[in-house]
Structure 1
Amino acid sequence: MKGYIYYEEDDALRNQWFIDELIKEGNANQLDVELLTGDDELPGDASFVFYRARDVEKSQRWEQEGHVVVNRSEVNRVANDKFQTFQLAALLGVPSIPARRVDSVQDIQKYPIVIKTTNGHGGAEVHLCETNDEAEHVISLYPNRQLVMQPYIQHNSSDVRLYLIGVEVVGAVKRTGTDSFKANVGLGGTAERFDVPPPLREFAVKIAKALKSDYIGVDFIQNAEGVWLLNEIEDPVGARSLYETSELNVAREVMRHIHKKLTKC
């Protein structure tokens, strides 16, 4: 079966090692896989595309053309809209950090507050504000962008990310920030292996089942009372921290999952 791994060009350069592993493991699982970048059209021989970007309209179009998109566009849409993510959590009964849309400082009742763009990723568009002036400045940075605000939860600059392939939690890491309240490894944080407690596993699996996802990350923080709260769903999710903290061959397991999915279609 012929398939393509789609990345934006800059992201493909940063992820070349993982791409090579996916191609190798695809071949081992009877999948003839190639990299595709910067092209709106999938070749006619495509049975599937492993979609590693955030353009929901593109993935929707490919689905409408009859291609199998991994993850499907609905996963991409929800995971890349923080407000949609928290709405999903509320529907599923998964505890999460309260989130509301914010348009101006008049919407803010109490500080400190965290303001985020709804479609940002990697922690780059997440801001902790303690005054009206700080909040006004942050809001001014994102004209014509949707923003959400959340109460600041004291969490020792750490979170946990659970990795799911299908509806199985295949690994997890605890991430700790350095000189920042953000725990993102890409911003200088560190990662270590994390043993997932059963309730947290159940929350993540509930999300994966609802989304019908193939490969996602689900991030939680723990508040001062020990309650786990959903922070984000990540699609596309990277694998560096998981490779560094476990023996799991992520590319192999993802390609095995895709092969099994295609043979069921």
Structure 2
Amino acid sequence: MTLTGWIIYNGSLQSKKFLDFAMMLQLAAKKQYIDTILFTNNQLLTYLYEQSKLLTKGEKNLPDFVIFTDKDIYLAQHLEMLGIPVFNRAEAIEISDDKIRTYQLLAKHHLPIPKTIVAPKAFSNHHLDHFYNLELIIETLRLPLIVKEAFGSFGEQVYLIHTKEELRKKVHEIHGKSFLFQQFIETSYGKDIRLQVVGNQVVTAMKRTSKNDFRANITTGGEMEAYYPSEREKTLAIQATQAIGADFAGVDLLFGENEQPIICEINSNAHIRNIYECTHINPADFIIDHIIQTLGIKDEKNDK
């Protein structure tokens, strides 16, 4: 039996890296004799009436599965409502996209994360100076500390704060958004590990380092090298991925005291070009294999 799939990415983002991710997945599927179609999210309109359906031009048949590389949660949920297996599931993408929800689940599963304080939800700028108990936050987390917006990618919307005045200014600046205060892991300044998890295994990993920034993201100027994670690091990455209910994810670990790993973030839609070029291992191949195994259908190549 030949599988058919859709690979969905965002149509409003101009960077070619989003299309590149989708095309890497499509090529991996082709090697397994799986026919896939690339769609931008705006090419698939969710239609809600007495009977929900999709409005599209051309393609009328629903696929056997969808690989959802976007954050259009409503569309992902709609595809699931139509009975289509979606990788990753809408809930996993939604949790991963919200750093506060992610840390809540990691804490619930007793996994190691930096000490974190969630900023109270605010609706008004009145009496702002008294709304956040900065003294208690500093006393608990110590300076320097991290302020991190709940929604952001590529190391953006993450700020290293050194003084109380700096903290007050940043809080004024992002007041009204969802954000958190977090312990700064000084032992991991400018370095972290990205582990690519697919199913129940870590398929590849790289170490990222930066000489000029506390963040190690490649997009902020970090450099990368292949990395061979310890069993503890691999176990943590798999546990973190399972905690948010993802089939695959890029998990970032920090170096704590005595090199003990600490979970920094989980990205359910982690782009794989950099890690592929760094390690020469293509996570897309593993993702397609995982989908085949999850659906319980042999691919045509193995049937021959």
Alpha-carbon distance, 1:40 to partner = 4.0
Deviation at 1:192, TM superposition (A): 0.8
Hey, what does 2:194 align to over in structure 1?
161
CA offsets, 1:137-190, max 9 Å, x none? 322333431001102111131011110111110011111123110111111101
Gaps of 5+ in 1: none
Q: TM-score, structure 2 length as denominator? A: 0.80
Hey, what's the Cα distance between the residues in 2 that align with 1:21 and 1:153?
A: 34
Change (3 A) 1:47 1:88: same
Identify the range of structure 1 (38-47 vs 196-205) with the bigger mean alpha-carbon deviation. Answer: 38-47
* Aligned 1:72-221 pairs, distance under 5 A: 72-103=89-120, 105-107=132-134, 108-109=137-138, 110-154=142-186, 155-221=188-254
By how many angstroms is 1:105 displaced? 4.5
| Residue number among 33, 36, 41 corresponding to 1:33 in the alignment | 36
SS at match of 2:295: helix
Please say if residues 198 and 249 of structure 2, whose CA atoms lie closer than 8 Å, have aligned partners that are also in contact.
yes
Aligned mate of 1:246, from 258, 279, 289: 279
SS in 1 for 2:16: helix
Which range is displaced more, 239-248 or 170-179? 239-248
Contact 2:204 2:283 in 1 (8 A): no
SS in structure 2 at match of 1:136: helix
- For the residue of structure 2 that corresponds to 1:78, the secondary structure is helix
1:49 to 2:51 alignment:
no
Measure how far apart 1:231 and its partner are. Answer: 0.5
SS in 1 for 2:194: strand
Give the one of 258, 273, 291 matched to 1:258.
291
Cα distance in 2 between the residues matched to 1:179 and 1:169 = 29
SS of match in other structure, 1:45 = coil
Equivalent-residue separation in structure 1 for 2:164 and 2:155 (angstroms): 22
**Distance in 1, Cα, partners of 2:205 & 2:93:** 21
Residue 257 (structure 2) pairs with residue 224 (structure 1): yes
CA deviations on 1:65-103 (whole Å, 9 max, x unpaired) are 212110011211221121222222222221111111125
1:225 alignment partner, SS class? helix
Whether the aligned pair in 2 keeps the contact of 1:176 and 1:189 (CA below 8 Å) is yes
Unpaired runs of at least 5, structure 2: 46-53, 55-59, 121-130, 298-304
Q: Could you tell me which of 263, 270, 273 is aligned with 1:237?
A: 270
Partner of 1:8: 10
Provide the aligned length of Structure 1 versus Structure 2: 265
Point out the structure with max Rg over C-alpha: 2
Alignment of 1:17-32 (within 5 A): 17-32=20-35
Structure 1 position 57, deviation (Å): 2.9
Aligned sequence identity (%) = 26
The answer to whether the 8 A contact 1:31-1:259 is kept is no
Describe how 1:59-70 pairs up with structure 2 within 5 A: 59-70=76-87
